[in-house]
Each structure stands twice: as structure tokens, then as C-alpha cells.
Structure 1
Amino acid sequence: MLKFSDEFWTSTSGDLSQRREALAVPAVVDGPGDAVRIVVDPADRRQPWIGAGAAITDAAASLIWNSMDAERRHEFLDDCFNPERGGFSVVRVPLGSCEPAAQPYYTYDDVPFGEHDNTLSKFSLGEGEPGAPDATKDLKHIVPVLQEILAINPAVKIIASPWSAPAWMKNTGHLCQGGRLRFGEWTGNGFDPMHDSFEGCYARYFVRYVEEMAKLGIPIWGVTVQNEPSNAPKWPAMMWTLKEQAAFVHDFLRPAMNERFPEMRIFVNDDSTHNLMWPVRDLVTPDQASSIDGLTVHTYEGPYENFFNASRAYPHWTLGMTERRCMIDETPEDAAHIMSGVIGNWLVRNGEGFIALWNLALDERGLPNQVGATGRRGVVTVHHETGGVIRNLEYFMLRAFGQDVEPGSVVVRSSNHTPD
């Protein structure tokens, strides 16, 4: 089991700074006849546990890389990702730009409006040496932070999610405010994929990303087709239906990945459960499902019961939670309800195998963010001038997952916390 080298306690006042002594495990005794009973059945084994962690966005990485000196940065990352300390074991990264960023929006193949690059000849994760002041794109912040995390714990699993394809692949020609991948020339009766289709090109774009990250010593464990494909905000975004995602994976992304990275896990949805109003089997055929490794959700819009439409669909799928934001004005009670009640209890008991919260770090203003302060805070708060770190409530809850449950453990059946 993991060693508890550091222990903390908190209260509803939100004071997260006080250390606590180790608590004795209470004895198991029979209660009165009307006592609440929780029945655990170790023989009924469910899904394997993959791990828990948070997102390394450009915003989070810029604070970790620029606001801390090397010694403080290493101590912080070791505190989070060392298996004998915080035990964080999952990292989500944007495949391209997202709104919490210190740099202007980018993809890995940006060309002037009206031009195309079908051969991906201009594909680049950035210019310069990783972490150098003049480096660009992922090389500026995200890559050096990931390299340091993997030096601490090479077993960390990295899952990458695009917010948008390059603008020239989209029907709008713009990175932001939604739009769709160009599936072909519109004929009035549907798309003609023989002309103006970018599905194959976009699949190769994913593969190039995985290849270039691997060259930098960063293995990508999994990808999602699209972050929040039902959303069209003013930052980078692109819209897909679940049926479109399944067809893209089956016809293009899985064949392209299999040529170079056959072990790559590919996930669909990556959005709230409002997208799962209908049984997934009605939207994804068994043949398509064989090309897909799983489905991920966010915990914003519900109802959460829609998760059953995914968990009961295809038994071989891995299910995960890939985003939950932390809010500056959120009460400890509300945060605890979501983290422990919904994510750590309900979703895990119903099939969830891994957890990735939103930004690992933001500053005390909820920045950097290309759309300004939006009331978000990080799992930790890093002061933008001093580099001082405040560990927020979600940090301690993630730490509980990391310390209490080793990756590779298996979830077993348990009853609910009610008399029946």
C-alpha cells in the first residue's frame, strides 16, 4: 500500500493548512438492528482503478514553470506525483490551445486564412528548446512540466483532448465559437467525402501529435476525440455528435493510430452527461464500439443518471471523468459533495475508472486565461508574483484517492449508505 508520509485535515471553515495525526482504523462491530449498513462484496469485482489527477493546461504549466524556482517547482511536483506522497497518476493535457492559457490560441498547424496544409508539412509542437523563454506553443510550458512529472513518476498516464482542429479543416475557417470538421462537400443530400473532406487529414494530425510528444519522452496514454463537443464558446471549440465521433474513430482515427500506436486508447464524449440522454447502443454500433476504448464525462450538466446509458452499453469500454472545474466562491460543502459524493462515490461505484480535474494550478485571480477571469481556481493556487502555493480542498481530495487506492486496484460491489 502507499505510505502516508504527509497527512492533513480540514474542516467546513475551509482551513486546509493544519496537519493531523494518523487516525486509528475503527473496529468493525455489529450495530443496532436499525443501523445503517454498508455491504461490501469482494467477490463481485468491477472495473480496475487507473488513477486520479488534474489537467496541465498552458495556464497551469506557465505558473508552475515561471512562478517557481527549480527547487520549489520540483518539490511541488514531487508532492503531487510521487507515488509515496500525493500519488497523482493521471494528467489531462489540451491537444492544442484551450482558454486557460498564457499564450495566444494556437494549433500545431496554423496557416493563413484561406490556405490549407493537407500534408501537415507545417506541423509543429512549437519552436525553441523546451522551457526556454523564447520557446512557443507546447514547448514553452506544457512539455517541460510534463517531462519533470514523468521523471518523478514514469507511470503517470497522459490523456490528450483537442479543443479544435486547425481552422482550415473546419467549415467555419475559424478556431473559436464552434464550427465542425469538414466531412466533405455538401451536395444538398449529404456530404460527398470525395471532395473537401478532412477526416483522414485530422486523424493523421492526432498521430503526428503522439509521434512528436514521444520524441520528447512524453508517451500519450490516450486521446479523446473532442473536448465538450456540444459546446460552441468564444474560445477554441468544435462540435460533434456522438454518432459522428464514433464514425470518425472507426473509419479514420483508429486505422491511423493502429499503424503507429495500436495500443492508443481512444475515448468519445468528453462532455457532460446531458449528451447521454439516449442509450449509447442506439448511437454507436457494435462494430464502431470495437474501435473505441471508452467514454469520458464531465460533471457539469446532468442528470448523472444518464451515465448508466454509457456504463451499460459496451462492457469492454473504460469509463472516466475528464473534467471538473473548481470555483473560487464554491463552499467546502459543495466541493466535498461533488468530489466525494458524485465523483468519488457514485461515478466510481457505477463504472468510472479514472478522474482528471480541471487546471492543476491557477493564480489567485483565476488566471492566466485568454478570456479573462471566470471565477475558476486551480486544484492549487499559485501566486503569480511570489510563486507561493495554497493547496485547495480538491488537492486534498485527490491526494486521498492517490494515497488510499493504488492504480491497478479493482473496484468491488458495495451497497449504498441507506438501511436497505
Structure 2
Amino acid sequence: MESVQKTCYLYGIESEAFVEQFREMEGGEDISFVSFSKEGGLPVLDLAAISHIIVSGSIPEIKVVLEFAQDNDLSMGILPLPEQPRFAKILDLPSSPKEAFRVASIPSEKKVDMLYCNDKLVIDDIRIGNTSVLKEFEFYYPKHSFFKRLGLFWQAVRQRNILKHYTFTVATDKENSYTFSALGMIALGYNNFSWIGKVLRNKLSAVGGQQTLLILSPRSLFQYFISNPFTLFVHKWKAERIPSSWGYMKSARMEISSADEPVKVVVDDLEMTQTPIVLETQTEAIRLSVGENFWENQRAEKSDRNSVRLDGVPKDQESMTYFHRGIPFFRHASTEQYASLFSNLRNEGSINSVFVILLILATVIAALGLFIDSSSVIIGEMLLAPLMQPIVSLSMGVLRQDEDLFKNASKT
């Protein structure tokens, strides 16, 4: 006679008080409750009698069960403990433990990807370098008053040498290598609930076959503490727009190394390691029970093509050397940026065909505005006239004592 398959609820010994409330729930008689410890390992289970697994426990205990379910192709649901609200949000589980239990008890046929760091399973995120300064200095923690948080900010300003860039090299599975300067990086997993996840919602997916690596590369303390959080807040509910000092890379495999020294790496806010590391995404690794809206939030399409954006990230040697010493309070321009700026000012401060055409067109529009006695047309002409360009070039020529720039702008 064939055995009847049941759901097996595996939980850490220290989670027994939390699990006790589910024993008397409807359908609880069809569930086998089994305790275990990470040190002692999982007990011997009759796989033929198990159709689905639920797990509650610490992060290491959840990882043990995840790997067990993956190796044996079992459907699995995670029921987070009260002190693990992040997991509930990531999996889109109800806030009520009993409602979350019902969701986690339903076997799933859909599979999600899993992220590995140096061949070790990751269930939340990976933080490389100084990516959590706001968190480490508790800048936004509600338990502190406004004045306390302000004091922590100025502490960060005084100790700005702590906030320095590292030189990273990231090699992807397409054998492309990128070297740049950054404060740190975050491998986001499929975390769609945070402010960062909301802004990058079209780049994150549990079924895309790739991992998104967010690169934080602020060029000033003002940009990091004020400008970037403001951008996140404004665009949390709007279309995707990440801060200008951020970049990202999306690939199935990434080898990350640091040039000058090993950089701290924190996995799942628990395990500590250091660079070099290898991030790999295992496609469709496990069948996972999640909330109704979880799949709707997986907007990124599956693709074999890597996606890279490093426009605002320092890549020249001068900038990498400068930011390695510490981040300035206000933005510092490199020699290359100065050269580009003055090249543009010289072009804009001289008389050329574009300038003459716009000036003639603005004059014609202004004349028409006078004939028809329309102030709005005259104002429109003022916006069209290219007079600001030589004025800015003239001002910069005076400030920088650049004789050629001053003369050309004056003639224009």
C-alpha cells in the first residue's frame, strides 16, 4: 500500500514557540512537524512520503533546508519568524503569521533562481565595501532623534577617510572585464520591496537567469547623504531613474576582485568574507511558494545578454586615485572633466554657423512679436536666443584669466 504524501514542517529548535500556533490550525493534521538544528543537521526523512516542505528558523537553518529541497526537487515554502520581516516582504507573504502559513503550505510548480557567492547559497543580498554607511551610522534609524542623526552625519563628514572608494574589477560570463572606482556594491537578489528595489524594479527578477549588481560611486558626501536619498524617495513610485552616481551590471556570473586590498563582503547581513568573490545565478533552482503579487513584480525578461551601465562611475586613473583617499564634501572635477568643460566653452563662445542661425531666427521672431504687440512671443525669442553661451564663456574666461576665451566670447 502506497504511503500518503504529507507536508513536512521543518523548524529550528529555538523556533518551537512560534511554530506551536500552527499545530491546531485547519489542515494541521496533514502536516508532519519536525525540529532540527544546523549543528546536528536534518533528521532522516522519508522522501517518498513528503510532497512539500515548510521551514522556519534562522538564516543558516533556512539555507540548510533550501539546499535539501533543491537537491531532492521538492516544493518549499518559507515562513519567516517575527524578527525576519524582510523575508516576508521579499516573498510577498501576508503580515499575519496564520495567513502566511496558508500561503507557504501551498505547493508551487513555478521555480525561482538562486544566487551563490563562492558556491554558498545567498537568500537575501550581498554587500561589498562601504555600501551601508547610512545603516552603519544609523542615519535613518527611527530610534534616534533628528539631532542625534544630524550628529551622526557630521561624524561621518569628519571621518570622511573611512568613506573612500575602492578599485574594483568585475569580469562577466561573456569574458568582458570592467575596472572602476566605487564606494561599494550590492548584489540585490530579487528584493523588490526596498527603495533601491523600487527604483531598479525593471532590472530585478527571480526568473531572469541573471543577477543585478548595483554599483554605488558617489563623488561627494553631499551627493551620497542628500542627493541620492532624495532621488530614491522621489522616484520610488515613478518611472525607473537611478541616481547619476550609480551604475549597475547584470550577468549570470561575475568575478569581483579589488586592486589595492581585500574588501569586506557581508552575505545575508550575517556571514563575513572578503574579495575576491564569484557570484553565480543558478537558473530555475527550486520551486518556492510565494504570495500572489510576487510573480507580477518579476518584470525583467529572461535574456542571455549582459546589461552594463557605468556612465557615472569613475573609470580614469586620476579619479580612482583621488577618491581612494576619501570622498570630498562637494564634487571634485578631474583634469579630463576640466579639459572637456573648457573645450565646450571655447566652442560655445565663438561665432559659428549654429550661433548665427539661432541669432537670426531669434531676431525675426522678436520683430514679429513687436509688430503684433505680443509679449509672449518676445519672451519666447529670449529663450531661443543663444546669448547665454558667450556670456558664460566670458565669465569663465575672467575667472580663469584665460585671455583667448575672454577675447572670443567678448567678440561674440
**Shorter chain as normaliser: what TM range?**
under 0.3
Larger radius of gyration: 2
Of structures 1 and 2, the one scoring higher in RCO (CA 8 A, sep 6+) is 1
Higher helix proportion, which one? Answer: 2
TM-score by length of 1: 0.22
Higher strand proportion, which one? Answer: 2
